[in-house]
Amino acid sequence: MDEILEINTKEIPVLALRGLVCIPGTFLTFEVTRKKSIKAINVAMETKQEIFVVCQKKLTNEEPTVDILNNIGTIAKIKQILKMPGGIVKVLIEGVCRASIVSTIREDEYLMVVAEVVKEQDIVNNDENIACIRNAQEAFDNYIDFIGKIPEELIISVLSEKDSGKLADLITANIPLDYESKQIILDCTDKIERLKMLTAILNQELSIMELEQKIHNEVQNQLEKNQKEYYIKEQIKALENELSEGDEEEGTNDLDKYKKQIEKLILNPKSKEKLLKEVKRLSRLPFGSQEGSVVRSYLDTVLELPWTTKTKDKLDIKKAEKVLNHDHYGLEKIKQRILEILAVHKITNNANSQILCLVGPPGVGKTSVGESIARAMGRKYVRISLGGVRDEAEIRGHRKTYLGSMPGRIIAAVASAGVNNPLILLDEVDKMGADIKGDPASALLEVLDPEQNKDFKDNFIEVPFDLSNVLFITTANTTDTIQKPLLDRMDIIELSSYTSNEKFHIATEYLVPKQLKKHGLTKLQLKFSDDAIRYMITDYTREAGVRSLERLIAKICRKTDKAILEGTKKTAITLKNITDFLGSPIYKDDDISKAPQIGVANGLAFTTVGGEILTIEVNSMEGTGKFELTGSLGDVMKESCKAAMSYIRSKRAEFGIREDFYKDTDIHIHFPEGAVPKDGPSAGITIALCIISELLHIPIRSDIAMTGEITIRGRVLPIGGLKEKTMAAYKHGLRTVIVPKANESDLEDIDSEVHNALTFIFAKTMEDVIKNGLTMPIGTQKDADFIVPEGKKQRKINIRQ
């Protein structure tokens, strides 16, 4: 064999191989059928039995020519030939060395070329060679881990081979590489490069095999899982059949029932598809699983919704008026407005173009007016209280994936009404808050907006529900805290406090009969004297509405019920026995001071619960000119105090107040009681009058109440809530009120009972307030020693006991 290597070039017959590469140093057997190939073998056998085997570049070429061959092939010795039937020749060859084609000699009957033997370098024992060998051995090691069984001799040969080129050839020949990779190794004439190339191929093969393994495992797992699931489902089905034997409604029939119900619904195709999908999902879930019950309860809830059920509106304005009158005393203007709105609704048939918002203090009948509207229209009525709602999900619902999730309040209300056109009363819209869980007001806006509520999407229901048929009515104590966009959608109707007289009528004509009926009593069994009712109004309650009054009446009814069971036949409530039923009066002593006082005045405030008397007290003491404010007051009120002070200092000389009083006198203003007024500045004139009274030592009239904003130059500006404020003055027995001149036109809003009872003083400037509010004109007071001569720091310190 060495002689082959010794001769550098030689003429040699060529055997073109398809998909086979002969690696030097290894044996190869194959069958030959092509004529040219058989001829080449024959020629070789006739000479030195040497043949040049070269792999074709493309497998498809049938007729071998030199062009279609790779340049590098292997000179091999033919070891054995076996002629087989059908002209097939089986050959065993041994690769000797690499050689390249130099030129073609013939291509006619067989191929003959001049081939040049590739000279291989000697073994080099440098570090690179060693590193390459180690790398290749490691890669081989990993590789055989994957393929499994490999002859031990081969492993030993690989581990003991010190020639990088031979090692590469050894491995290449003995592992199942494709012919292209083998040709790449054959093409590498540099030994180290060859081994590096092989290592790279091995590593790549390894990662491909790993990937194959992974894919295989995944497929296997999936298959196993599917089989397992299938098996379990079959078992469940068998068990379910066993359980529901005789009960055909259960199990799969249940699913059919859902399907049928969904098909029957008048819904858009998309929503139907979504619901059917849920049924499909349910069919795949094991019976009794938690997820299954979530889907079931979802489907039940959705299917129970009144998608198409509605009541027929009976909108007869005359009848509506009757209902409103039957349910409520007075409220004439409100009833008229409501009837107008209903008329518009009847003509336009548009439920929610503008949302009605009933605004007023508690207990004035907002909710019950809402209820009456529903009755008047023949609609179902549902009330949702929004007070304290901070989470958007309360309006829009929780996603059904969330454990314990349910629809929002709106959809729940529609579901409880059982029709898609109920009247929903959204109570206390002004008490809704917002927090990190979202802003319920914006969700509500979507509910109320006719553009959007056609396709209202509740998070739980997921399919859009048409809310456009629902009639929404809202109530609030104040419009101040309602968000602007919501407020813009609303048609505000204000309900104000009742006078004692109105309360009396409401009580005798409505509340008493209502409570009697509720407690199963007749007029003969329980009677209220008029005086008793008036006494209850004045001495047991102090409220804008009639809620507490109704509670008191209910209390008496309860006690009467008990007495009847104990044998009493008739009960009459009079001034004499009322304390037996209700205990001592709560508001017996009116805390409004009867005697005129220095530095104390009755202001009038407008709060969310109606009008209030706001008593303001001012005290002054020796100090460093500090200005102190205490009590419940907002920022605007503080501004009012400053404006009042500024005015007084500018008028000091006219009033006869010491020049530098503001440097050594501390003034303390206190707002003793009551809720924080809504309209801060309206206490301006009261504050100013108190300070003037205190500094000049002139008492303020105690039979008078006042309200008005003050400017730093003493002008009196108009205020809001006059109706409620004058009502408060009236209720507290104050018969004269000082109000801004600019509010004169608002007088017509005031309840006639109040209007007739009060004397109004219209103030344009602070001088008008001083003139009418103080018990004596400035300068006539005896206690004028307050004006201290310049230089002397002596002054009278006014301390009231």
What is the binding site for ligand ADP (CB under 6 A)? 328-331, 360, 362-368, 475, 506, 510, 545-547, 550
Residue closer to ligand ADP (CB basis): 26 or 501 = 501
- The DSSP code sequence of 280-348 is HHHHHSPTT-HHHHHHHHHHHHHHHS-SS--PPP---HHHHHHHHHHH-SS-HHHHHHHHHHHHHHHHH
Q: What's the farthest any 2 CA atoms get from each other in the chain? A: 157
Quickly list H helices, 99-126.
none
Find the shortest distance in angstroms from Cβ 552 to ligand ADP. 12
Rounded to a whole number of angstroms, the minimum distance from the CB of residue 551 to ligand ADP is 9
CA 580 to CA 96: how far, in whole Å? 129
Q: What are phi and psi of 97, to 5 degrees?
A: -155, 165
593: Cα separation from own chain's centroid: 53
Q: Which two tokens stand for residue 559?
A: 């006690």
Nearer to ligand ADP, 444 or 495 (CB): 495
Alpha carbons within 13 A on the beta-carbon side of 449? 13
Examine the residue annotation and report whether 725 is marked as an active-site residue of this protein.
Answer: yes
Strand 27-32 versus strand 88-106 pairing type: antiparallel
User: Is residue 490 within 8 Å of 356, Cβ to Cβ?
Assistant: yes
**What is the rounded CA–CA span in Å between residue 254 and residue 248?**
8
| Min CB(368)–ligand ADP separation in Å | 4
Task: Specify the residue, 267 or 324, whose C-beta has the smaller distance to ligand ADP.
Answer: 324
Minimum separation from the CB atom of position 478 to ligand ADP (A): 12
DSSP codes, 549-600: HHHHHHHHHHHHHHHHHTT---EEE-TTTHHHHH-S-SS-S--S-SS-BTTE
Identify which of 135, 138, 173, 139 has the alpha carbon closest to the alpha carbon of residue 154: 173
Nearer to ligand ADP, 360 or 708 (CB): 360
- Identify whether 244 is a catalytic site residue: no
Among 37, 682, 693, 702, the active-site one is 682
Q: Is 626 helix (H, G, I), strand (E, B) or coil?
A: coil
In the bound state, the residue with its beta carbon closest to ligand ADP is 365
Alpha helices in 244-268 (DSSP H): 252-264
| C-alpha–C-alpha distance, residues 476 and 763, integer Å | 33
| Of residues 327 and 458, the one with the C-beta less far from ligand ADP | 327
Alpha carbon separation from 164 to 202, 562, 674, 747 (Å, rounded): 15, 113, 101, 114
Q: Are 250 and 243 in contact (CB under 8 A)?
A: yes
Residue among 393, 498, 385, 484 at smallest CA distance from 435 = 393
DSSP 676: P
Q: Would you report the helix, strand and coil content of the chain in percent, each value rounded to 5?
A: 45, 20, 35
Q: Which CB sits closer to ligand ADP, 360 or 773? A: 360
Q: Rounded to whole angstroms, how far apart are CA atoms 747 and 639? A: 27
The neighbouring-strand residues paired with 527 are 572
Least separation, in Å, of the C-beta of 381 and ligand ADP?
A: 12
- Least Å distance between CB 428 and ligand ADP? 9
Q: Which is nearer to ligand ADP, 144 or 358 (CB)?
A: 358
Angle CA 501–504–510, to nearest 5 = 135
Whether residue 439 contacts residue 401, with contact meaning beta carbons closer than 8 Å, is answered with no
Cβ of residue 728: shortest distance to ligand ADP, in angstroms? 18
At closest approach, how far in Å is the CB of 540 from ligand ADP? 16
Tokens of 170: 């050894």
Smallest distance from ligand ADP to CB 467, Å: 23
Residue found under tokens 């048929």: 469
Tokens at 452, concatenated: 């959007």
Integer Cα distance of 552 and 580 in angstroms: 12
Distance CA 568, CA 586 (A): 28
Minimum distance, C-beta of residue 423 to ligand ADP, in the bound complex (Å):
14
Q: Which of 690, 674, 596 is nearest to 640 (CA)?
A: 690
Residue nearer to ligand ADP on the CB measure, 363 or 714: 363
Closer to ligand ADP at the Cβ: 359 or 616?
359
Q: Is 373 exposed, middle or buried (0-12, 13-18, 19+ CB in 10 A)?
A: buried
Q: With respect to ligand ADP, which residue has the nearer C-beta, 514 or 771?
A: 514
Is 600:690 a contact under the CB 8 Å cutoff?
A: yes
State the Cα–Cα distance between residues 467 and 410, nearest whole angstrom. 9
Q: In the complex, what is the shortest distance from the CB of residue 739 to ligand ADP, in angstroms, rounded to a whole number?
A: 26
Judged by beta carbon, residue 169 or residue 550, the one nearer ligand ADP is 550
Taking CA 361 as the corner, what is the angle to CA 355 and CA 365, rounded to the nearest 5 degrees? 65
Catalytic residue among 196, 651, 725, 731: 725
**Cα 752 to Cα 106: distance, rounded to the nearest angstrom:** 132
Q: How far is the CB of 548 from ligand ADP (least distance, A)?
A: 10
Which amino acid does the sequence have at 426? L
The sign of the dihedral angle between the CA atoms of 4, 7, 8, 14 is: negative
The answer to whether 275 and 299 are in contact (CB under 8 A) is yes
Catalytic residues: 682, 725
